[in-house]
Amino acid sequence: QLQLQESGPGLVKPSETLSLTCTVSGGSISSSSYYWGWIRQPPGKGLEWIGSIYYSGSTYYNPSLKSRVTISVDTSKNQFSLKLSSVTAADTAVYYCARHSLYASKVDWFDPWGQGTLVTVSS
């Protein structure tokens, strides 16, 4: 079955760039039916969508993070990646990747999710 796995540094210094990769196994990231998304969850808080990418490279981002976010895709490696620049302590969170489905522009859903990776922003 489809599985997603996040990887990357668990500690990032303030003002630097957070970089994470999501590796997809058990299916192709090049499927025309899906986007691939990043969602984060600060400790003890709720979920926040960061952005999503189509296998062609088309992206859309959360407007509140857009100026700092870049999501890219590498179909040859079946991976997609997140870069978040100029991080502060407020960016400390568990970062999840997930397959993002849309239907008829009326409904979005994320399934399955990776296990998540905690990224702490601290000097």
Partner 1 sequence: SSELTQDPAVSVALGQTVRITCQGDSLRSYYASWYQQKPGQAPVLVIYGKNNRPSGIPDRFSGSSSGNTASLTITGAQAEDEADYYCNSRDSSGNRVVFGGGTKLTVL
The binding site for partner 1 (CB under 8 A) comprises 37, 39, 46-49, 52, 60, 62-63, 96, 100-101, 103, 105-116
- How many helices and strands, by DSSP H and E, does the chain display? 0, 11
Q: Which is nearer to partner 1, 71 or 100 (CB)?
A: 100
Q: Which is nearer to partner 1, 76 or 103 (CB)?
A: 103
Burial class (CB in 10 A: 0-12, 13-18, 19+), 65: middle
The least CB distance from residue 4 to partner 1, in Å, is 9
Q: Which is nearer to partner 1, 7 or 15 (CB)?
A: 7
Torsion angle of the four alpha carbons 103, 61, 114, 77, in this order, in degrees rounded to the nearest 10: 100
For 36, the token pair is: 């691939």
The least CB distance from residue 109 to partner 1, in Å, is 4
**Phi and psi of 112, rounded to 5°?**
-85, 175
The least CB distance from residue 101 to partner 1, in Å, is 8
Q: Which is nearer to partner 1, 107 or 123 (CB)?
A: 107
Q: For residue 26, what are the CA distances in angstroms to 39, 70, 78, 90?
A: 21, 25, 10, 34
The least CB distance from residue 108 to partner 1, in Å, is 5
